[in-house]
Amino acid sequence: MPRIVPALPALAPVSTVLTPAERLRVDAAGEGLYHTLHRDTLDDVLRDLRERRAAAVLVSVARYAAPFATPIAGPEAARVAAVVREFPRVPAVALLSQPEGGATYGPAGQAALAHAVLTLGRCGVERLVDVRTPGGWRELRELLAGGGADGFARFAAETVLRDLAGAPADCHRFFHLLFRAAPAPATVRALSRQLAVVPSTLMSRFFRARLPAPKRYLAFARLVRAARLFENPGLSVASVANALEYSSPQSFGRHVRTMLRLTAVQFRDRYDGEGMLHRFRAELVTPFLAVLRRFTPLTVPPGWLGEEGRRKMVQ
pLDDT digits 0-9 by tens, 121-141 = 999 998 999 998 878 998 988
CB 143 within 8 A of CB 90: no
pLDDT at 105: 65
Instruction: Look up the pTM and report it.
Output: 0.77
pLDDT at 195: 86
Quote the CA–CA distance of 123 and 82 in Å, as a whole number.
8
Which of 65-69, 189-193, 259-263: highest mean pLDDT?
259-263
Q: Check residue 172 and give its pLDDT.
A: 92
Residue 307: pLDDT above 50?
no
DSSP bridge pairs for 75 = none
pLDDT value, residue 301 = 57
**Percentage of residues in the chain with pLDDT exceeding 90?**
50
State the virtual CA torsion across 75, 79, 82, 87 in degrees, nearest 10: 180
Cis peptide before 185 (omega within 30 of 0): no
Q: Do 60 and 23 form a contact (C-beta atoms < 8 A)?
A: no
Q: Which domains does the chain have, with CATH numbers?
A: 12-146 (3.40.50.2300), 149-309 (no CATH)
pLDDT at 191 > cutoff 70: yes
Model pLDDT for residues 210-230, shown as the tens digit of each residue: 999 999 999 999 999 999 999
Preceding omega of 233 cis (within 30 degrees of 0): no
- Whether pLDDT at 313 is above 50: no
pLDDT range class, residue 161, cuts 50, 70, 90: very high
For the chain, the three-class secondary structure string (H helix, E strand, C coil) is CCCCCCCCCCCEEEEEECCHHHHHHHHHHCCCCEEEEECCCHHHHHHHHHHCCCCEEEEECHHHCCCCCCCCCHHHHHHHHHHHHHCCCCCEEEEECCCHHHCCCCHHHHHHHHHHHHHHHHCCCCEEEECCCHHHHHHHHHHHHHCHHHHHHHHHHHHHHHHCCCCCHHHHHHHHHHCCCCCCCCCHHHHHHHHCCCHHHHHHHHHHCCCCCHHHHHHHHHHHHHHHHCCCCCCCHHHHHHHCCCCCHHHHHHHHHHHHCCCHHHHHHHCCHHHHHHHHHHHHCHHHHHHHCCCCCCCCCCCCCHHHHHHHHHC
